[in-house]
Structures are given as C-alpha cells and as structure tokens.
Structure 1
Amino acid sequence: MTIQYRPWREGDDLELLQLWGDPESPVGEQFRGTFAPSVGSIDGDTAPGESWRQCIVAEDVVDGIAVPVAAGVVYETPLHSERLWSYIEVSRDHRGHGIGSSLLVMLRREAELSPSGVRALRSKVADGTDGAAFVASVGLKSIQRSRMVEVSAGALKLPVFEGEGEDAGSDIIMDLATGSVELTQLVGKYYRSVHSWDDPGELSLGTVQRLFLDDASGAHGAIVLRAKPASAFGGTVQPSRKGAIRAFAISYAAPATVEDAPRGASEVFLGHDPELDAADAAEAVRDLLSLIAHQHPVVLEVDESMTALTAAVDPLLASGGARRLGADIQVVSD
C-alpha cells in the first residue's frame, strides 16, 4: 500500500462517495458536505464571503494509478469560533493503517495557520462507530453529549390552567409568529445559556432568525408558555400586558437524517427563559412538552447541558413514554 496526500480537487467527492458508500451515522452525512477545495492560502487570505478551510485527500497508488481513499477537513466558522471544526473519513478497507492519524497530523499543521489564531480542534462522532473509536485513540475528549428522543403522543398528562371553558389558559399558551422579536431574543439567550461549554459568541437577532426561525431554517411555527399576567393595580384590574415567556417550542419537519423518526412527527426545539430557577424551568418545559406532544409524537435533540429538558425526558425514557432514536452523539475536542 502506497499512500500519498494532496489538496482536495473538484470531483473528489464523486470518487470518494462511490468508494465510501453510506455513512456510518447522520453525523458523517452532515460532515461529508464540508469537503470542498481549500479556502485561504498560507498567508491567511480568504475569498470574500468564505470562511477559511483546508481539505486534504489521501490516495492509494496501485500500479501507478492514484485512487482517493480518504479525506480530512479543518475549517473556521463565525459561530462557536473558539475551536475549529474538523472531520476525517477513511474507506473501510483502508482503516487501521494510520491514514486517519496522518491526516489528523496534517490538519493540526494547517490549523497552526488559521487566520483567527484558533488552534484547538473539535468534531462530532456517533457512539459505537469507528469514528468514536478513532477519536478516543488519538486523545480527543468528549465535551458534550446529545441524543435524539421521540416523545410519544399523550405521554405526559396535560397541565391544568386557571379559567373557564375554552378560555382557560388562553393568556398563558399562545401561538407566536416566528418573526417575533420577543421570541428571537429569548431563543438567542437560551442558546447561549446551554452552550457555555462552547461559547457561540454574541448572537445578533438576524443570526438567531437565520439559524432557528426563518423559512430557510425550516421552522413551521412557534408556541410559547407565558407567565400568568398580573396588573400593577391589583387583582381586580385587567392586566394591560402579557406575561413573560417562560418556555418556547419551535417546530420543524422531521429531518430525513434522524434515524427511525416516526412518520408525521415534527422535530421541536424546546427551551426556556434561562433566568428561571431550576424548578420553574423544569415545570415550564414539562408543561409545554405535554401540550405539543398531546396528539402527535415529537422529536427532540437533548443535550446534556439542557437540564430542564433532561428532567422532563428522562422519566419518559424510563417509563416507555419516549425512546432514543439512533446513537448518542458526542462533541469531542483537544
């Protein structure tokens, strides 16, 4: 086996995908989309509108013919900019020969030249895959774990709100436009609070909209759970303002990359006001989850940093009211 290395070229993806076949996990499928020609020369210049990226291909030379068998990429992102994303994939019949390790060494050398000055690498791997075994063997450590969970319809008892008839809870549970500034601000605030382990930096309203709420994000709608409105003039006077949002749920179509997702289920981003105390946050999340999963199953991505959501989901997993979809995903870093 004679292995040589070179920069990525247009057309490499077609040859490699044919050799690699199906990815080991949805993580691999997502990362494959980051393989592309390098952006940024040794002096750190990048093309307008493009982030710095270096991509390397490993070829096996047989009888003078070089065939791409592996690739590695390292790149900067404006979001979560404290580390560089990296990914390596080697064809199954070429694993165990040091190609992945060699690519990692090369990517680390490229990282020394990143325009931002950031050197640390991070990646994602699915439990039980060769990728997970590889990152463990090269000393990358898990900094966060997430799981995809399906909550069955009717798994939680509906909360009881004050009021009479159809109006009960109408001032607490509300549909909200995904373009709402109030919602956008809270989503950004929550996202930052549950990513202290990998600080996303300052999030503008436009960035939050683009990532989570506009049409391009796939958002279908939003529902919020508000605090009971109160009047500054006492209980006998009708409040003039709505209560603050305690929890929110944004629905998306269930993506094809979610393994075993039930037909008709929606993926939901469920969060809360991070200024709530732990008990109040857990109650708000549980109440809103019971409402959105009352008639239809929902799919949630649950990071271990999402303590309120974890408190709602773990008992359901134990009782059979929820199930894991696919393998757990780890974010790993130096």
Structure 2
Amino acid sequence: MAIEYREWREGDDLALLEIWGGPETVQAGQFRGTLAPSGNAPWRRCIVAEDVVDGVAIPVAAGVVHEASLHPERLWVYIEVARDHRRTGVGSTLLTMLRHEAEKSPSGVARLRCKVEPGTAGAAFAEAAGLTPIQCSRLVVVEPAALKLPVFGDGSESAASDQVEDLATGSVELSDVVGRYYTAVHGWDSPGELSIATVQRLFLDDLSGAHGAIVLRAPKASAFGHGVLASRKGRLEAFAISYAQAAPGGGGAAQDTAGEGASAQPTDVFLGHEPKLGADEARAAVRDLLALIAYQHPVLLELDDSMTALRAVVEPLLDSGKARVQGSETLVVSDPR
C-alpha cells in the first residue's frame, strides 16, 4: 500500500462514494457535503488520500477543515476513510495535515470540533485523537397529550388569548428572544451576539423552513402601575417555531402536522424561552407551551444537555414513555487545545 496525499479535485466526490458506499451515520451524511475544493471564501482546506496500486491512484480517504460563521470559536473538521484502509494511519495522517492547515487559518482559530455518534468508529477515532465531548444532543418525539393542558388566568378564552398568541415569524420581538436564547444555551460553543437579521436568516425566514410561530406571554400588565386596568401585552416568556421540513426547530403550527393520532408524523419544533427567566419560571413556561403544541399531534424537539429548562420538562416524559428518543445521540467533540 502506497498512500499519497493531494488537494481535493473535481470528481473526487463520485470516486469516493464508490469506495465508501452509503454514510454510516447521520453525521457522516451531513459532513460529506463539506468535502469540496479548498478556498478562502469561506476558508476551507480539503485533502484527499490516494492508494497507488500498479501505478493507478485510487482515492480512499478525505478530510476537511473549515471556518464556521455561526460558531467561530472552533473550526469544523471531518475525516472519512474507506473501511479496508482504517487503522493504517491514513486518518491520523490526514488529521495531522489538517491541524497544520488550521494553524494558518485567517481567523487565527485552530481548535477543532466535530460531531460523532457514540459507539462508532468515528467516535473512537475522535477519542484517540484527543477530541473530547463538550455537548450531547438528542432528537426527542413528544407524544400527543403527554402533558396536561395549562389553565390561564380565570380559565376563560379571553384569558388564554391574552397569553397565547400566533406571532409572525418576521417579528422583531420574536427574533430578539430567539437569538438571545440560542446564545444562552450555546455557551459551550458560543455563537457570539446574533443580530436580528442573522436570527431571521438562520431560524425564521422562508429559506430556514420556518412555517409558523406561537408564543406564550406573561399575564397582561398595566402601563400605569398597580390598580390601573392592565392593557399592555405581557412579556414574551416562551416560543415555539414550527418548520415545514426537518430543520433546527418548529412550533405554533403544530396543528399543521399531517395525519391523525399516533400515525401522524411529528412536527419539527424549536422550543425555547426568555433567557432572563428564573429556573422555575423557565421550566413552567416551556412546560405550558409544550403541552399546548403537543396536545393533539406529536412534536419533534432537539434536546441539548445545555437546555436545562427543556430537559427538566422532557426527561420525565422519556422516563414515563410519553416521549421517545429518535435515532442515536450526537456528541459534539472538541480539541481541548
């Protein structure tokens, strides 16, 4: 076996697919899309390993390292090696070469991160390379009527309508809370301060797949103090954004889920809360909104370990069988350097 290394070239994707076959994990399927020619806008370096047999070079492995616009504190890295060439040093050599390239990234960032599935060859390789878990994420399906519906105020329809509202996804108020929540639960890999325009692009516009939004507000407040009739909308305490197709969230349009009962496909939902709420308030707000959107149809949530309020509500449902994990866990592993 004579291994040679070179830059990624046109046609390498098709040649490697013939050798690799289908992706072994969801993460592999996602990251294969990042294998592309090296460039600087955005910054990316991609290297291919070829096995030269009787003078014929056959691509057998590839690796890429690239900058991330949303989480700029680390570089994404991905390496895949054909099954019959693993444990031969090819992957380790590619990683060493990519680390060398990372040292020259224009941002000055050199720490690496990747997503792996526990118990896989990729997870074992990452561990051997010194990449350690910094976050665990699960996809959870909450079954219909898993939670008792909340009662708002005096239990009247008007009291409920004061606190539960369908909100346009273009709302600046919604964008502000979504951005601050996302930043708050990603302190382990900070996205930095997100502008309203960035939040709109990533989570709320048509290209993100956003389909609708529902919010939970605090009870109406008076603009003139105690004793004066309350007329001002309460502050936004929790939000749920629904997505027409698989995306990082979903919500108020849970009623748009196709099908009925247990056979319905779950609506993809991004559920969060005002990050300034106390722990008990956040948990109550998330619980009440989840009870509403999952009352008749199942919903699909992405549950990170850092989402403490959502975990406090969902994990008891997992224990009782009223919710279930879909697929395998995803670990984000990081170079500690």
TM-score normalised by L of structure 2: 0.92
Match of 2:119 among 114, 121, 128: 128
Q: CA deviation digits over 1:38-96, x for unaligned, max 9?
A: 01xxxxxx3xxx21100000111111111111110000122211111110111122111
2:314 aligned residue: 313
Q: Is 1:128–1:327's contact at 8 Å kept on the other side of the alignment? A: no
1:160 aligned residue: 151
The one-letter amino acid paired with 1:56 is I
Q: CA deviation digits over 1:268-326, x for unaligned, max 9?
A: 10000110000100010011111111111111101100000000110000000011111
2:27 aligned residue: 27
2:221 aligned residue: 230
Change (3 A) 1:24 1:200: same
Question: Alignment partner of 2:296: what SS?
Answer: coil
Q: Is 2:166–2:213's contact at 8 Å kept on the other side of the alignment? A: yes
2:256 aligned residue: none
The 5 A counterparts of 1:93-242 are 93-163=84-154, 165-233=156-224, 237-242=228-233
Query: Which region of structure 1 is more displaced relative to structure 2, 223-232 or 311-320?
Result: 223-232
Aligned residue pairs: how many? 323
In the aligned structure 2, how far is the partner of 1:206 from the partner of 1:93? 47
The one-letter amino acid paired with 2:179 is G
Q: Is 1:254–1:299's contact at 8 Å kept on the other side of the alignment? A: no
Question: Alignment partner of 2:161: what SS?
Answer: coil
In the aligned structure 1, how far is the partner of 2:155 from the partner of 2:23? 53
In the aligned structure 2, how far is the partner of 1:213 from the partner of 1:168? 28
How far has the Cα of 1:232 moved from its partner? 3.9
Q: CA deviation digits over 1:107-142, x for unaligned, max 9?
A: 000001101111111111111211111101111111
> Which sections of structure 2, spanning at least 5 residues, go unmatched?
249-262
The one-letter amino acid paired with 1:277 is G
In the aligned structure 2, how far is the partner of 1:253 from the partner of 1:290? 20
1:83 aligned residue: 74
2:3 aligned residue: 3
Q: Does 1:51 align with 2:42?
A: yes
Q: Is 2:79–2:95's contact at 8 Å kept on the other side of the alignment? A: yes
How far has the Cα of 1:28 moved from its partner? 1.1
Question: Alignment partner of 2:243: what SS?
Answer: strand
1:43 aligned residue: none
How far has the Cα of 1:219 moved from its partner? 0.6
Question: Alignment partner of 2:34: what SS?
Answer: coil
How far has the Cα of 1:103 moved from its partner? 0.6
Q: Is 1:184–1:208's contact at 8 Å kept on the other side of the alignment? A: yes
Q: Is 2:181–2:273's contact at 8 Å kept on the other side of the alignment? A: yes
In the aligned structure 1, how far is the partner of 2:211 from the partner of 2:229? 33
How far has the Cα of 1:160 moved from its partner? 1.0
1:290 aligned residue: 291
In the aligned structure 1, how far is the partner of 2:5 from the partner of 2:85? 14
Q: Is 2:209–2:247's contact at 8 Å kept on the other side of the alignment? A: no
Change (3 A) 1:325 1:215: same
In the aligned structure 2, how far is the partner of 1:176 from the partner of 1:212? 14
> Please, what is the CA RMSD of the aligned residues?
1.8
In the aligned structure 2, how far is the partner of 1:263 from the partner of 1:5? 49
Question: Identity of aligned pairs, percent?
Answer: 65
Question: Alignment partner of 1:170: what SS?
Answer: helix
How far has the Cα of 1:263 moved from its partner? 5.0
Change (3 A) 1:96 1:157: same
Change (3 A) 1:58 1:263: farther
1:38 aligned residue: 38
> Which sections of structure 1, spanning at least 5 residues, go unmatched?
40-45
Question: Alignment partner of 2:100: what SS?
Answer: helix
Change (3 A) 1:122 1:164: closer
* Consecutive aligned runs of 4 or more in structure 1 exceeding 6 Å deviation: none
TM-score normalised by L of structure 1: 0.93
Question: Alignment partner of 2:31: what SS?
Answer: helix
1:42 aligned residue: none
In the aligned structure 2, how far is the partner of 1:211 from the partner of 1:291? 25
In the aligned structure 2, how far is the partner of 1:63 from the partner of 1:269? 54
